[in-house]
Amino acid sequence: MSDKRCKGYVGVACVDGSCPMANRDEYEDYCTPIVNSCDECGCYKGCEDCALFGTEYCIKEGGKDV
């Protein structure tokens, strides 16, 4: 994937129980493609759905390396 992903990303799927990494075993049982790393996750939407965007914890807003 060519887009540069934020190292501090906390998207909806990361916290609502639908994270493909956290549910790997269940995905395997249903023959669903397995995500081996967060970089492969199709749920990534960048700042659009990041819980940290616009807060003091956002590394992009703070000017730190994304």
Average pLDDT (4-17) is 91
pLDDT score for 32: 76
What does the pLDDT read at residue 62?
62
The predicted pLDDT at position 5 comes to: 87
- Cα–Cα distance, 43 to 6 (Å, whole number): 13
Residue 6's CB: how many other CB atoms inside 10 A?
19
Average pLDDT value for the chain: 83
Residue 44 lies in a domain: yes
pLDDT tens string 33-51: 788 888 888 899 999 999 9
**Residue-number span of the structural domain to which 16 is assigned:** 12-49
On whether residue 18 sits in a domain, the answer given is yes
Query: At a CB cut-off of 8 Å and minimum separation 6, what does 51 contact?
Result: 10, 11, 12, 14, 15
- Residue 31 located in a structural domain: yes
**Region for 31 from its dihedrals, namely left if φ exceeds 0, alpha if ψ lies in -120 to 50, beta otherwise:** left
Residue 64: inside a domain? no
In the chain, the number of structural domains is 1
- The answer to the question of residue 55 being in a domain is no
pLDDT band at 53 (very low <50, low <70, confident <90, very high): very high
- Which of these, 3, 2, 15, 4, lies nearest to 49 by C-alpha position? 15
Tell me, yes or no, whether 22 lies in a domain: yes
Question: Domain for residue 45, yes or no?
Answer: yes
Is 56 inside a domain boundary? no
